[in-house]
């Protein structure tokens, strides 16, 4: 029973780290990456669908993303969706291929993005700590119901703290990597 609680804690903490990594993928670093356009949705026969379901998104070079719609009629719709997105990108259309160049980041924009990354890292750390709190509450409830001894409760609490430290350190490592990537010219 205690093993199930620990296993659940590990899974939930891993999900916090994965969510943090996915959030960081959306941040533009000056280098092109197909995941930058993942969250863009386009109108397709009356439905809002993700861009990657109506077009092929690929890299042309380090600073250019190419979007090739599967239907020629989608070119204008996709171009408008990219322009309306919060990414600040200006697509160029050449026939049926949409090229999205990545403008170089200014020093001020890099600093702003670093602040955003730190904020996201703090949110991820808080999420991991919330998992720790939930698990510790579960363990204390098990102690009250006499499902485990005080020694087991103390040991389980220490193990949960070690897990928390491990995942917070992993978040910190990802944060450092992203900050380094952002500040590269």
Global pTM reads 0.67
| Domain co-membership, 115 together with 147 | yes
**pLDDT of residue 35 exceeding 80:** no
Identify whether residues 172 and 84 lie together within a single domain.
Answer: no
Domain total of the chain: 2
Q: Same structural domain for residues 134 and 87?
A: no
Looking at the fold, whether 110 and 139 belong to one and the same domain comes out as: yes
Residues 92 and 42 in one domain: yes
Q: What are phi and psi of 149, to 5 degrees?
A: -85, 170
Token pair in block for residue 149: 């001894």
Residues 97-148 pLDDT 10s: 888 888 777 787 788 778 888 988 999 999 999 999 999 999 898 888 888 8
CATH code assigned at 87: 3.30.1360.40
Q: Residue 141 burial by CB count (10 A; 0-12/13-18/19+): exposed, middle or buried?
A: exposed
Dig out the tokens for 91 from the structure.
């697509």
Mean pLDDT score, 59-83? 86
Domain that includes residue 122, residue range: 2-26+106-183
Burial label, 181 (beta-carbon count in 10 A; 0-12, 13-18, 19+)? middle
pLDDT at position 159 is 92
Question: At which of 76, 101, 126 does a domain end?
Answer: 101
The answer for 129, left when phi > 0, alpha when psi is -120 to 50, beta otherwise, is: alpha
Residue pair 160/168 in contact by the 8 Å Cβ criterion: no
Are residues 116 and 89 part of one domain?
Answer: no
């Amino acid at each position: 029973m205690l093993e199930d609680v620990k296993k659940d804690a590990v899974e939930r903490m891993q999900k916090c780290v994965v969510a943090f990594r996915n959030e960081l993928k959306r941040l533009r670093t000056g280098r092109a990456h197909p995941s930058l356009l993942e969250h863009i949705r386009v109108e397709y026969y009356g439905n809002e669908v993700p861009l990657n379901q109506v077009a092929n998104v690929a890299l042309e070079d380090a600073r250019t993303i190419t979007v090739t719609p599967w239907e020629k009629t989608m070119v204008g719709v996709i171009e408008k969706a990219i322009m309306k997105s919060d990414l600040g990108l200006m697509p160029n259309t050449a026939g049926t291929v949409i090229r999205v160049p990545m403008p170089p980041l200014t020093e001020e924009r890099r600093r702003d993005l670093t602040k955003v990354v730190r904020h996201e890292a703090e949110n991820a750390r808080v999420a991991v700590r919330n998992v720790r709190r939930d698990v510790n509450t579960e363990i204390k409830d098990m102690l009250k119901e006499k499902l485990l001894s005080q020694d087991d409760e103390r040991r389980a609490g220490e193990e949960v703290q070690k897990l928390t430290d491990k995942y917070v350190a992993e978040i910190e490592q990802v944060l450092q990597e992203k900050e380094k990537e952002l500040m590269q010219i």
